[in-house]
Amino acid sequence: MFLFKINQRVIDHFIETGKVDEIYLRLICFKIIKNQELNELESIIFQGKTKEINELIIDISNSIDN
C-alpha cells in the first residue's frame, strides 16, 4: 500500500498549474509497472503527464535491471 494517495486537492493543483509532485508521478509509474489499474484521478494525471510518466518508467526499469 502506498503512503501517498492522489486526491482532489492534487488534481485541483494539477488543473490549475499543470504541475504534479514527482511522488505522485512515481506512484502512477509503480502501478503501471505492476499492471495495476489506475483509478479515475490517477488516469487524469496520466493523460496529462504521459511523456513524463513513461520517461520515469524507463528510468525505474533501467535501475532495476542494473
Q: What is the pLDDT of residue 1?
A: 52
The whole-number pLDDT of residue 63 equals 85
The answer to whether residue 1 is domain-embedded is: no
Query: Rounded to an integer, what distance in angstroms lies between the CA atom of residue 10 and that of residue 42?
Result: 10
Give the global pTM: 0.87
Q: What is the pLDDT of residues 11-63, one digit of tens each?
A: 999 999 999 999 999 999 999 999 999 999 999 999 999 999 999 999 988 88
Let me know if residue 30 belongs to a domain.
yes
Q: What is the pLDDT of residue 64?
A: 77
In this structure, is residue 2 part of a structural domain? no
Residue-number span of the structural domain to which 39 is assigned: 8-65
The pLDDT value recorded for residue 61 is: 85
Q: What backbone torsions phi and psi does residue 18 show, to the nearest 5 degrees?
A: 80, 10
Q: Does residue 51 form part of some domain?
A: yes
- Is there a domain that residue 35 lies in? yes
Q: What's the structural domain count of the chain?
A: 1
Report in angstroms the alpha-carbon separations of 9 from 6, 34, 65. 8, 25, 35
- In 3D space, the residue among 35, 16, 38, 34 whose CA is nearest the CA of residue 24 turns out to be 38
Residue with cell 494525471: 45
Polymer length of the chain: 66
Residue 33 lies in a domain: yes
What pLDDT score does 62 carry?
A: 86
